[in-house]
Amino acid sequence: MDPLPADLLDALPDGVVLADAAGRVSGVNAAAVRLLGGCVRDHVGSPLDDVLRLQNSEGCTWTGYNTPYAGLRSRVGVPEQSWLLPSGLEVLTTARIERDAAGAVARVAVTLRSGRGRERLDRERSDLVATVAHELRSPLTGVKGFVQAMLNRWEVLSDEQKRLMLTTVNADADRLSRLITELLDVARIDTGRLALYPRPVDAATIAARVVASVATSTSRPIALDAAEDLPPALADPDKLTQVLTNLVENGVRHGDGTVRLSLGVEGEQLVLGVEDEGSGIPEEIRRRVFTKFWHFGTAGGSGLGLYIVSGLVGAHGGTVSIGETEAGGALLVVRWPVATSPLGA
């Protein structure tokens, strides 16, 4: 069986090691050499077991564990497995076993891929679990505590005390509901399954509602500056509300002084700006601000708000960027498409 051309093997993104019927390496590409070390001439002609210096958690070698040249003649491959290089780096391997007409092994092709991609996914999953657990614990603790207090002391509590407790429970329930919505939106953005129902909407009215809503939960002043005769935005109103809420709350959480929400228009786009009077966002980390689980400073939060903002704005055909105010505070600017038809159309 003729070996594959070296340039063709080197063009493959994954590492490839080919072994002949005698169990000796007949070909190895550049990606495999980078993982295994050495050079091509060190590997070609060597026993497959010497080239694949891989071990699992039990100390078994790849060839000793999978025995590609033994076993049933009907076996034609080895599914994906996780192995460790001598350096400790995890690699993911798969193998195909080619057989001749009599069923004897003619060639074994092993592919190797760095496990760092899977490590990143595992790390993101762990971060997600940790974030959810942390964010759920606080409101759930409040709900349980107040409900338990009312059950135990209902007769001695005044109506005003009961009202205060129920108001707090309601606020915590809203917080839980919003976190669940955020997590669902993250999943939909990641999988491209975000459902939008855009139509012409009055962005100034939505902005006023957002400012009023956020103001009820903070002592920080929030100002709204909307230009007159703004054209309608082409937006899913619920998603536009979510974007503005996340931006304003981010300004309240991370900035200082007054948070200002401004609305203007440039050409065929609405320009929505949120600024604060804090120390701003350093330029070197601005690219990371819109990633999942981003945290800056000591302020709390799920770390999902600005990731969702970026995803929702992009899904509407808009852009979001970070700058700074003349006083050095943070300035987040969203450019949102203008509707071509009037409100109610």
- Same domain for 215 and 136: no
Indicate whether 209 and 283 sit together in one domain.
yes
Confirm whether 151 is domain-assigned.
yes
**Cβ distance 338 to 235 under 8 Å?**
no
Across 171-185, 237-251, 324-338, least confident range:
171-185
What is the pLDDT confidence band of residue 117, given thresholds at 50, 70 and 90? low
As given in the structure block, the two tokens for residue 235 are 């937006």
What is the average per-residue pLDDT within 110-131? 73
Identify whether 344 is part of a domain.
Answer: no
Same domain, 296 and 315: yes
Task: Give the residue from 191, 221, 238 where a domain finishes.
Answer: 191
Note the pLDDT of residue 211.
93
The per-residue pLDDT for 72 is 85
**Co-location of 329 and 206 in the same domain:** yes
- Residues 211 and 277 reside in one and the same domain: yes
Q: What is the band of 210 on the pLDDT scale with cuts at 50, 70, 90?
A: very high
Instruction: Give 15's strand partners.
Output: 112
Count up the domains in the chain and report the number.
3
Evaluate if residue 200 carries a pLDDT over 80: yes
State how far the Cα of 118 lies from the Cα of 93, in Å rounded to an integer.
Answer: 13
Angle at which helices 116-153 and 159-191 pack, to 10 degrees? 160
Strand 199-201 and strand 105-114: pairing?
A: unpaired
- As a whole-number percent, the residues of the chain with pLDDT over 70 amount to 90
Q: What is the pLDDT of residue 187?
A: 81
Tell me if 345 is assigned to some domain.
no
CATH of the domain at 331: 3.30.565.10
pLDDT of residue 83: 87
Higher pLDDT, 76 or 171: 76
* 128, pLDDT greater than 90: no
Q: Of 65, 86, 114, which residue constitutes the final position of a domain? A: 114
Residue 47: beta bridge partners? 24
pTM passes above 0.85: no
Q: Is 193 exposed, middle or buried (0-12, 13-18, 19+ CB in 10 A)?
A: exposed
- Residue 317 and residue 285 share a domain: yes
- The mean pLDDT of 32-47, rounded to a whole number, is 85
Q: Which pLDDT belongs to residue 23?
A: 93
* Assigned domain for 342 exists: no
More confident call, 3 vs 157:
157
Residues 172 and 206 in one domain: no
The pLDDT, as a whole number, for residue 119 is: 60
In a domain, 1, yes or no: no
Q: What is the model's pLDDT at position 338? A: 94
CATH of the domain at 77: 3.30.450.20
Examine the domain organization and report whether 176 and 269 are in the same domain.
no
Q: What is the DSSP string of 213-261?
A: HHHTT-SS-EEEEE-TTPPPEEE-HHHHHHHHHHHHHHHHHH--S-EEE
Residues 42 and 138 in one domain: no
Same domain, 91 and 126: no
Domain ranges, residue 147: 118-191
CATH number at residue 152: 1.10.287.130
- Return the pLDDT at 332: 93
The answer to whether position 343 is within a domain reads no
84 vs 130: CA distance, rounded Å: 27
Q: What is the mean pLDDT of the chain?
A: 85
Say whether pLDDT at 138 is over 90: no
> In this predicted structure, what is the pLDDT of residue 301?
61
Do 134 and 60 lie in one domain? The reply is no
In a domain, residue 82? The reply is yes
pLDDT digits (tens, 9 = 90+) for 294-334: 666 555 566 778 888 999 999 999 999 998 888 888 899 99
Q: Pick from 114, 134, 156: which residue ends a domain?
A: 114
Residue 97 located in a structural domain: yes
Q: pLDDT tens for residues 146-169?
A: 899 899 999 998 999 999 999 888
Are residues 274 and 165 both part of a single domain?
no
pLDDT tens readout for residues 248-295: 988 888 777 899 999 999 988 999 999 988 788 888 787 778 877 666
